[in-house]
Structure 1
Amino acid sequence: MSRDLIAAALDCAARGWHVFPITPRGKYPLRGFTAWEQHATTDPDVIARFWERRPCNIGVACGPSHLVVIDLDQPKPSEHPPADHANRGLATGEDVFRNLCERHGQPYPADTFTVTTRRGGTHLYFTAPPGITLGNTSGDKGNGLGPLIDTRGRGGYVVGPGSFVALPDGTGTYTITNPAPPAPLPAWLAERLATPPTAAPSSTRPRLGDLDHLDHARLSRYGRAALTGEVERVAGAPVGGRNRALNLAAWKLGKLIARNVLPREVVEHALTEAAKTANAHGDPNSPREIAAVIAAGIIAGMRG
């Protein structure tokens, strides 16, 4: 099994995809790899050495790999499609996606790298469109594609082919079913995923432009984009993952502080406001805890 996983990880790397270890028989980043997007690599020597020591599953970091992956899921036993979908026979993620393609007058994009997942779902791999940064979607939330469909781009990962997952909701291997190179993401899908939701954004979710303490003239376009992305990720962090998201954001932005791309006081204030927004759901983290996590992350990032 270990040799198979090494070969599978090296095959991903040979395709130019950045990989990192996820838990054996599981699907979450290995402890110590919370900054998995930074740890992900295509270096065959690093990959071989690590996987020889431990037969981990394979995570494919979509952002650095320039991938967008569409995940067409099978419903879990407790999941039932919305009534309007059930009435049209749309029971799986593939059903919903094929229907979406039909409604847009587009063919189902089958001629691309494809993986069958452990529960019989499908991962369709595409190359990310140039000049557009696509993040992640879940179901029909925001600008998602529909129930039982997730997408993974920057800031997201998928379980790579060759991985074996054994969890209560399903057991199986992620298997390549179409080895063709990833096709470019169809333009209509790129446009759909890049279009902001029509609903007004929540007033509790801060955007950089809403933080009136910032002197915008002090920020480069790159610095502003980096800060905006991290602010929104921290603000949307789930209960149980807030400190990890906050620490990672502070670490990444600390690197930009060290390069004089961003002022430290701007980063501290923006991340504090984002953490306060995340507190709106569930038990809040204390101001002291928030400040400590931000400070530790920034210091670590500035040290490199």
Structure 2
Amino acid sequence: MNSHLLNAALAAAVRGWHVFPLRPGTKRPALHGEAACPRTGACETGHRKWEQRATTDPDRIRTTWGTDAFNVGIATGPSGLLVVDLDMPKDNINGEAPDGAATFAALCERTGHAVPDTYRTRTASGGQHLYFAAPSGVRLANTAGTVAPLVDTRAWGGYVVAAGSITPAGPYETVSGPVAASLPSWLLSILKPAPRPVQAPSVPVTVQSRRYADTALGNEVRNVSGAQLGQREARLFRAARAMGRFIAWGNLPRHEVEQALQKAGEAVGLPPSQCRATLRSALDWSIAHNQRRRDAA
């Protein structure tokens, strides 16, 4: 068993994925916590957590896995990975509740994209992990339910159990895909951190301009709320484009616009994650466009 798990750790390291030991037969890190840190060895200059101690060094890996049958953890952030965790529903007695894979496939269909073909593993519970190469220059964090129900993600601050690891519930196994594909842009738009708020202009916002902006927002909310099937996302997109100028000019804070249009989009049946992605894309463009126009003026 030690050689099997050692090979699994080395195989992940060859891919450039940073590994660390998990307690035998579990998903919990085997490294000591901060309270029990001896402040020696790797922690001589201060406690180093599992994310900091994860490695691709084959000598360190052989030394570690030569002592016990550790399962293999992959620190997703240092490995340059974004892993989509498609979970199984809990207490699904009648088997009718959709699992994370079905929910994710439905999201892909609604957004007009195929389910990405990438390195994929089956988890011990019967779920799936989809591995993606995270884009450079963007520090993605873990999410829970942001993409869709039972669809979580692991990036900086997170880890996944590598294929080859074994728990009492079952093994983790590779099921498809030789390499981790690049993270699709449409999925990145849902996951990337929200841009910093646009600074208000140096001149005070007048009462009249605020009233005008509030009226415009109310009109756009009504336009989205009255959308029929087939018009919903397009109206939400146009509404966000129209409202971006009021954010860029300091008449309205971005969070108020996003909240109002998000609520309107969900009310007509758009999934929350689809609303967020549409609003983020449209507002980012509109704010930047109108800010340039204001600066040029």
Q: What are the residue-to-residue correspondences of 1:199-238 with 2, within 5 Å?
A: none
More divergent stretch after superposition (33-42 vs 6-15): 33-42
1:183 aligns with 2:181: yes
Change (3 A) 1:125 1:33: farther
C-alpha distance in 2, partners of 1:33/1:179?
35
Shift of 1:195: 4.9
**Once superposed, what is the RMSD of the aligned Cα atoms?**
2.4
Tell me which residue corresponds to 1:262: none
Partner amino acid, structure 2, of 1:154: W
1:125 aligns with 2:131: yes
Question: Which of 46, 50, 64 pairs up with 1:36?
Answer: 50
Partner amino acid, structure 2, of 1:97: F
Shift of 1:73: 0.9
Tell me which residue corresponds to 1:135: 141
Tell me which residue corresponds to 1:173: 171
C-alpha distance in 2, partners of 1:80/1:98?
22
C-alpha distance in 2, partners of 1:33/1:4?
27
1:46 aligns with 2:60: yes
Report the secondary structure of 2:148's partner residue: coil
1:29-72 Cα offsets, whole Å, 9 max, x none, are 11416600111000001001110101100000001100000010
The two structures have a TM-score, normalised by structure 2, of 0.58
Shift of 1:76: 2.2
1:250-303 Cα offsets, whole Å, 9 max, x none, are xxxxxxxxxxxxxxxxxxxxxxxxxxxxxxxxxxxxxxxxxxxxxxxxxxxxxx
Report the secondary structure of 1:54's partner residue: coil
C-alpha distance in 2, partners of 1:179/1:106?
18
Q: Which 4+ stretches in 1 moved above 3 angstroms? A: none
Partner amino acid, structure 1, of 2:188: A
Tell me which residue corresponds to 1:283: none
Partner amino acid, structure 2, of 1:153: A
Partner amino acid, structure 2, of 1:16: G
1:20 aligns with 2:20: yes
Change (3 A) 1:80 1:69: farther
- Looking at CA atoms only, which structure, 1 or 2, has the larger radius of gyration? 2
Report the secondary structure of 2:66's partner residue: helix
C-alpha distance in 1, partners of 2:111/2:193?
15
C-alpha distance in 1, partners of 2:138/2:93?
34
1:190-249 Cα offsets, whole Å, 9 max, x none, are 11111549xxxxxxxxxxxxxxxxxxxxxxxxxxxxxxxxxxxxxxxxxxxxxxxxxxxx
C-alpha distance in 2, partners of 1:33/1:114?
30
1:76-127 Cα offsets, whole Å, 9 max, x none, are 22x689xxxx9xx761000110111111111111x21110111111100000
1:73 aligns with 2:87: yes
Partner amino acid, structure 2, of 1:96: T
Q: Is the 8 A contact 2:22 2:30 kept in 1?
A: yes
Structure 1, unaligned runs of 5 or more: 198-304
Q: Is the 8 A contact 2:89 2:97 kept in 1?
A: no
Question: Which of 161, 164, 169 pairs up with 1:162?
Answer: 164
C-alpha distance in 2, partners of 1:21/1:8?
11
The two structures have a TM-score, normalised by structure 1, of 0.57
Tell me which residue corresponds to 1:60: 74
State the aligned residue count.
183
Identical residues among aligned pairs (%) = 46
C-alpha distance in 2, partners of 1:74/1:100?
16
Report the secondary structure of 1:145's partner residue: strand
Tell me which residue corresponds to 1:249: none
C-alpha distance in 2, partners of 1:33/1:165?
22
Partner amino acid, structure 2, of 1:155: G
Shift of 1:179: 4.0
Partner amino acid, structure 1, of 2:13: A
Tell me which residue corresponds to 2:10: 10
